[in-house]
């Protein structure tokens, strides 16, 4: 089941990206609701 590990890795990466983005712009916390950065 390599898919599970890959999915978790992707999820963690997105969380890190969202966290960094929220650190830069703390005003827009609505972006955390929809993590669709593609």
Contacts of 12 (CB under 8 A, 6+ apart): none
The whole-number pLDDT of residue 9 equals 94
Instruction: Identify the pLDDT of residue 33.
Output: 55
What are the tens digits of pLDDT across the range 1-38? Answer: 678 999 999 999 999 988 887 777 665 555 555 555 55
Residues 3-36, buried b or exposed e (16+ Cβ, 10 A)? Answer: eeeeeeeeeeeeeeeeeeeeeeeeeeeeeeeeee
Q: What pLDDT is attached to residue 10?
A: 94
pTM of the predicted protein model: 0.46
* pLDDT recorded at residue 35: 58
């Amino acid at each position: 089941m390599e898919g599970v590990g890959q999915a978790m890795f992707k999820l963690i990466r997105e969380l890190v990206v969202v966290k960094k983005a929220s650190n830069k712009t703390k005003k827009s916390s609505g972006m955390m609701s929809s993590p669709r950065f593609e």
